[in-house]
A and B are shown apart, each in its own frame.
Chain A
Amino acid sequence: MITGVLTIVFLQLCVVFGSFVPAAMAVSSLAVQTGSSGFKVRENNVHAPNLYADKIDFIATLVNLPGAKKKGSYWELSYELYFVPEDKYYEAVRRLPRGGSNPTPDQFPGRILLAEGHKKKTRLGALKERTLTLIAVDFKQKVPDAQRTKFAVLMTGYSVKIFDAELNTTVYRSGIFLTEPFETQDQNQVAARKTIYLNFGVNPDGTLNRSQSARTVSDTTWQ
């Protein structure tokens, strides 16, 4: 009998205090968000032509390869750089399956091609030889002024094939990376993005790392 009454009281207290939980959650999440830089809330279609660089560089790097100095190792890369207008991007995203997916550039109609190319490198001993650089790709002039909004998207489509002669392994991967036309600098200041990075690394177990994080040219550590 007493147990039953206590249970009812406990449940009623849960209902009462439960009504305060959403506010508490919001406050605690805000505290976490302040300490990290992984996400933000987007304001739609903010015209921001000042965040578009006239020219943009593209640097693709095979950062690590266990058999880089071995004869027979090679790195083959096909790439495309696109601009995707903000409204077109979110239309395409709404058509994607909910959750994770690996879309191709073809799934983003309205995209504007900025650059494309294909390269196979067989000399990979030095980091310089494992780096592919495109300088001064036309960017701003290819984007109509009305579409120069803050949260439009720069898309890198890639297809990579790497053979490591030491591991005797071939790694394949194709996919996209997406980023904004601007980059965030110190103290949350934003500025026009000047460089698009595309980094790959083969681990000793033959798995592939990939990223579009900015990196210094001489750095061989993964970041």
Chain B
Amino acid sequence: MKNLKLRLLLLCLGTVLTLGFSHAVAQACADVSAGGTVYGDFDCRLTNACGGWCYYSCTCSNLFPGYNCASVLEEAGFEIVSGPQC
């Protein structure tokens, strides 16, 4: 019984640490985010990191005909920002 409690305690501790660590990692903004999607390649550079948000300036290349940079970036998981940053 004591062994079970210890295991549960360790499991909870591990869960908390994992969640905390992944949260910390998720908060950090990458300086560069580059790659490609089926619609084309993108190169995004951090311009502002504040309030838990990462803001990027992006360029695209090798676009698939009929698609544009927004298609590439949306596919890559970026949200389009038009308002003020922070």
A interface list, Cβ under 8 A from B: 22-23, 25-26, 29-30, 32-33, 35-42, 44, 90, 93, 96, 98-103, 151, 175-179, 201, 207-213, 222-223
Contacts and interface: CB of A to CB of B under 8 A. Distances in A.
A209 to B, nearest CB: 4
Contacts of A222: 50, 86
Interface stretch (B1-9, B12-20, B64-72): B64-72
A40 B44 CA distance: 10
A39 B73 contact: yes
A38 B46 CA distance: 11
A33 B70 contact: yes
B50 A98 contact: no
Q: Please report whether the interface of chain A is mostly helix, strand, loop or mixed according to DSSP.
A: mixed
Given A176-B31, A177-B31, A33 B80 contact: yes
B47 A40 contact: no
Contacts, number: 128
Interface residues of B, number: 41
Given A26-B67, A40-B59, A93-B43, A103 B73 contact: no
A217 B48 CA distance: 18
Given A201-B50, A213-B47, A100 B32 contact: yes
A136 to B, nearest CB: 24
Nearest to B54: A100
B51 to A, nearest CB: 8
Nearest to A28: B70
Contacts of B29: 100
Contacts of B50: 201, 209-211, 222
A26 B85 contact: no
Nearest to B82: A36
Contacts of A102: 30-32
A42 B61 contact: yes
Given A25-B67, A26-B71, 9 more contacts: A33-B69, A33-B70, A40-B58, A41-B59, A41-B60, A99-B35, A179-B47, A212-B47, A213-B85
